[in-house]
Structure 1
Amino acid sequence: MSFRRKEESHIVNVLYRIIIMKKIIYIFITLFTISLSAQIDRVEPPFWYEGMNKSEVQILFYGKNIAQNSVSVSNNVVVTNVTKTENPNYIFVTIDTKNVKAQQLQFTFVNGKKSFKRNYEIKIRRENSALRKSYDASDVMYLLMPDRFANGNSNNDSSSELQEKANRSLPGGRHGGDIAGIINHLDYIKELGATTIWSTPLCEDNDKGYSYHTYGQSDVYKIDARYGTNEEYKQLATEMHKKDMKLVMDYVTNHWGAEHWMFKDMPTYDWFHQFPGYAQSNYRMTTQYDINGSKRDAKYCMDGWFVPSMPDLNQSNPLVLNYLIQNAIWWIEYADLDGFRVDTYSYNDKDGIAKWTKAITDEYPYFNIVGEVWMHDQAQISYWQKDSPISKIQSYNSYLPSVMDFTLHDVFGNVFNEDRADWSNGTIKFYENFANDFLYANPNNLLIFLENHDTGRFNQIYKNDFKKYQLGMTIMATMRGIPQLYYGSEIGMSGDKGKGDADIRQDFPGGWTGDSNNAFTTSGRTSEQNQFFNFTKKLLNWRKSKSVIHTGKLTHYIPENNVYVYFRHNDKESVMVVINNAADNQKINLSRFEENLAGFTSGYEVISDKNVELKNELSIDAKSSMIIELKK
């Protein structure tokens, strides 16, 4: 019995040692696998969605010498392509997710006898996501700069991970406005009558200074920590949708910031345009279609850098183009976005940006995208709109649904100081601008505006003249297109472009604790601020339900004595708009408007809340406007 017990004891000890060794081996393998898995520093897109029209997703894996591995994926998902570049720290793996349901996939990376795994999630897509309704002419867009609008969370004013710290005393510094501040004041924007918010970019911008505008992005999959988190951005969209409001992302396809992690370790030499290194854009967008232009000039427009701190992206590189397409689609799905505004649209490689735009609108047929095409000629702006009669001449189609009406902005910038009309000055400028609408494929889908974050402030140009503000806003609210209001104009905010961009991007009063003037509330506004606000609120809320303004036909008449008259009309309604830009009162002979006034004998004037008779003459005060809902 004694011998038998010794033998059993020995066997137990051996088995125990084997178990211990297995645990040690398991721990070693786990640690080894973790160390190899740590070889992956970034995965982009971080996840994807089931049921996408773009079922093939190209996943970027980034890490030290990651390209030395071969790659496979679990669950019978097909790897359709593996692309390795001259930089061994990148590997691009394309998988086909068609008919792949939401699940956790597992990528296996093998290098000789070493291997490790990385999970990748395919998420459930929102119901009817592809059919999301975007903004259109029934909307009013409110443009704000988040750093300057409201500080809802003072704890994120600075970040240990980002270079520039908050300094509200510095005009061009970070002031601390954030996503929480926008959410806190959605009711203010809704009360004003705006239905859509266009926020300047919110993705991370890690420049050492002047980063508050966020157009030099350093990570396009991450919200800047000084604005909040990705989750907070998604929350912003959710809270807006509860209020029947829409969120537009400011998307930048042309360039990133010099602090972008990819610029510091380029996937390919030609990921960015190289000359080698930096070369300035000539900013001459006309070179994009000039049949007499030199190839060199066209190259320096498209490929030259906007500024030295913004390396120019090469959309003619298929990897770059696909990266930008996927990033845009990812944000739409992730944050549940309602539209894009695209920065410096006409500086991009024009074939590449057309492919990008088409890919987005193929995925989302009703998704609106407005491009910044800062030009001063209708034909040149029209070239960039989808199905343009101008670009058809060169067999080009940008597929861009909307463009910004900069020629109308040019008129707004000086016309209300022209008290006396002549052949080319005064309200004839409006008439001539709209007379060129035949050049556009879709004038109703143009973005119209008095000003934006890059232009002179309307109220600065006109020295806070309320009558001139009324004139400008009346036209913008009743004319064809999608009106865009720049934050603060509705309370009379001004700012001198000559003093620099920071002056036209001042903090909204009341957005910071301790502000002496809180313009977000009636009681906190000054009498002048309330005068501006109340007029704007009345006008924009009236516009909300007026389909005749959103989609009705425009008929306008040649101005006389600096008075411009036009009608918006459809089969059910007709609205007469009268703009008196003269310095004196006017009497208007109504007989010349017979084709639009036939059958109408009176009307309701929206601004004054009064009924008016429409017999022989109509009187209107100097520098004033009338919006008349016609009645039979």
Structure 2
Amino acid sequence: MRKILTAFITLILICNIIIPVHAEEKDTWEDEMIYFIMTDRFHNGDTSNDYQVDLNDPRAYHGGDFQGIIEKLDYIQEMGFTAIWLTPIVKNEPKGYHGYWTEDFYEVEEHFGTLEEFKTLVQEAHERDIKIILDLVVNHTGYQHPWLTDPDKQDWFHEDQTILDWDNQENVENGRLAGLPDLAQENPETRKYLLDMAKWWIEETDIDGYRLDTVKHVPKDFWEQFATEVKSVKEDFFLIGEVWHSDPTYVADYAKTGIDSFVDYPFFNEATRIFSNADQRIGRYMHGIWERNQTLYENPYILGNFIDNHDNKRFTRLVLENNEDPATRLKLALAYMYTAPGIPIVYYGTEIAMDGGEDPDNRHLMEFQDHEIISYISTLGEMRQENPALTKGDFVMLVDQIGTSVFSRTYEDEQLLIAINNTVEDQEVVLTDEELPTISKLVAKLGEESISKNEEGYVLHLPKESAEIYVVEEVEQDETTTDYTIWYAITIAGVVALLGIWFVIRKRKA
């Protein structure tokens, strides 16, 4: 009996060797989808903290708070977002509704709620598997910060000088951005204060990351120490920096400091130009950004892709200026942003095609309403969650015509195709054996058409100004076809079992 048991154990081991089990992969930051909220302009959940709120003044507080975000967490989750980036929540001076005019680095802005309410927000988000990223400012304070009149803190600031030469790094780091008092991070006391403060917020609230404001205005050696210090508190803490510059080499150089990721301004510049207007070429420029990022970053998959933010005209306004339809153009831009490598970042209001010009016109109070873009974002988010190829896969350009492109994303045994027609006419694209040599069926995920191979190849019919995502599914040769790998494993296992039984019987006869 013991020998029979041994034979079956051997059988099981062989089966495990022949049919390996893929371990479930741990989610990493490239799997995330970020919803960007300006706290004051999102949702008013607690009117008791509405001090000096004036909805008619675009530069005053409008009432958004932590409770308002808590009440909309389900709304955010249903769109597929797995992380929320909040503008700074520290105490700001009057009119600092946006959070970038710090009055006290350790206090919570009273218009937003209390520290305990923020902790509740973090906890409620974590219960939904949503991460919280806080915007952090260490470059400057508000115009009237108490340190400015403190005799012991005069060397905590640089001299009052304007940034006149944006190509002069010393002037960029030591000059005053928009006249805001510029902190001297080279001062050991100032540096220690800022580092201790950054670690305190992590320890106190259990947040998951920082979006680092005005990175290029702070010395790189500070960021090196900053990255080390904050990750000593929470190892997987995420740092995504803002280096507002059009030169990708300049941006990428800050990755050497230990900052994990950056909001990708070169991506933003090209994506908004191409998708806000019809007939613009996609592949050469957008795929070119990806190819460049691969050479510049250790992990380009975690760069932050965006088409809207609080510092630029909203995408909808760019579309309207080109006399185009916002919903149509948004779908194209979002389809690309969600399927290209990188973390999609969606600014609140984009899901309802919110309009807005220059700051502060791009920061209107959110209006919650039904809109076709909401369901479109939900569909794209669901696809990213279900298809690892869209978050981890390679990115290959198969077709690049004027206004029309087809890209492939492949990861392990999964392949998806992204086809975008950025023209005002219907297009037909043929994928030959050179682009797609498999015998497969292309299953459309945004539409209903599935495509099989014919004598020409795969013929894609793309309506004007549309995007489609296809899952490449291998076609079974006939209904009786079975996975030969499994049959092979079963056959070997059966032979081993029979040999084991035969061996036991023979031994008994002997």
Per the alignment, residue 618 of structure 1 pairs with 460
8 Å contact kept, 1:427–1:559: yes
For residue 599 of structure 1, report the CA deviation from its aligned partner.
2.2
**1:353 paired to 2:223:** yes
Per the alignment, residue 227 of structure 1 pairs with 112
Q: By percentage of residues, which structure has more helix?
A: 2
**2: CA distance between counterparts of 1:194 and 1:266?**
47
8 Å contact kept, 1:473–1:536: yes
Within the candidate set 240, 245, 248, 2:130 is matched to: 245
SS of structure 2 residue aligned to 1:540: helix
Change over 3 Å in CA distance of 1:266–1:456 after alignment to 2: farther
8 Å contact kept, 2:312–2:357: no
Q: Deviations over 1:581-632 (max 9, x none)?
A: 12211111201653xx232421221111443324422111111111111100
Aligned ranges 1:16-55 → 2 under 5 Å: none
Amino acid at match of 1:350: K
Per the alignment, residue 103 of structure 1 pairs with none
Within the candidate set 226, 234, 243, 1:364 is matched to: 234
For residue 551 of structure 1, report the CA deviation from its aligned partner.
1.1
Per the alignment, residue 197 of structure 1 pairs with 84
For residue 456 of structure 1, report the CA deviation from its aligned partner.
1.3
For residue 282 of structure 1, report the CA deviation from its aligned partner.
3.4
**1:448 paired to 2:302:** no
SS of structure 2 residue aligned to 1:556: strand
8 Å contact kept, 2:220–2:254: no
8 Å contact kept, 1:217–1:257: yes
**2: CA distance between counterparts of 1:592 and 1:144?**
46
**1:338 paired to 2:198:** no
Structure 1, unaligned runs of 5 or more: 1-132, 159-164, 288-296, 386-396, 510-517, 520-524
Aligned ranges 1:32-111 → 2 under 5 Å: none
SS of structure 2 residue aligned to 1:474: helix
**2: CA distance between counterparts of 1:135 and 1:267?**
44
Aligned ranges 1:338-417 → 2 under 5 Å: 338-385=208-255, 397-417=256-276
Structure 2, unaligned runs of 5 or more: 1-25, 475-510
Q: Deviations over 1:12-55 (max 9, x none)?
A: xxxxxxxxxxxxxxxxxxxxxxxxxxxxxxxxxxxxxxxxxxxx
Per the alignment, residue 420 of structure 2 pairs with 579
CA RMSD of aligned residues (A): 1.8
**2: CA distance between counterparts of 1:593 and 1:315?**
56
8 Å contact kept, 2:277–2:329: no
Q: Highest CA radius of gyration, 1 or 2? A: 1
**1: CA distance between counterparts of 2:185 and 2:191?**
5
For residue 350 of structure 1, report the CA deviation from its aligned partner.
2.0
**1: CA distance between counterparts of 2:420 and 2:58?**
37
SS of structure 1 residue aligned to 2:177: coil
Count of aligned pairs: 441
Change over 3 Å in CA distance of 1:135–1:347 after alignment to 2: farther
SS of structure 2 residue aligned to 1:268: helix
Aligned ranges 1:95-244 → 2 under 5 Å: 136-158=29-51, 165-207=52-94, 209=95, 211-244=96-129
Q: Deviations over 1:238-281 (max 9, x none)?
A: 0001111110010111111133232332533221112xxx2112
8 Å contact kept, 1:315–1:352: yes
8 Å contact kept, 1:134–1:339: no
Amino acid at match of 1:476: M
More RCO (CA 8 Å, sep 6+): 2
**2: CA distance between counterparts of 1:538 and 1:353?**
37
SS of structure 2 residue aligned to 1:414: helix
**2: CA distance between counterparts of 1:233 and 1:135?**
25
8 Å contact kept, 1:134–1:338: no
Change over 3 Å in CA distance of 1:338–1:244 after alignment to 2: same
Runs in 1 of length 4+ with deviation above 4 angstroms?
none
**2: CA distance between counterparts of 1:492 and 1:419?**
18
Amino acid at match of 1:627: I
**2: CA distance between counterparts of 1:593 and 1:344?**
46
**2: CA distance between counterparts of 1:592 and 1:377?**
38
8 Å contact kept, 1:302–1:347: yes
Q: Deviations over 1:285-310 (max 9, x none)?
A: xx4xxxxxxxxx332110111122x2
Aligned ranges 1:288-303 → 2 under 5 Å: 297-303=168-174
Q: Deviations over 1:288-343 (max 9, x none)?
A: xxxxxxxxx332110111122x2111111111111111111110111110111000
**2: CA distance between counterparts of 1:266 and 1:585?**
70
Amino acid at match of 2:287: Y
8 Å contact kept, 1:431–1:559: no
**2: CA distance between counterparts of 1:225 and 1:135?**
34
**2: CA distance between counterparts of 1:550 and 1:427?**
19
Amino acid at match of 1:215: Y
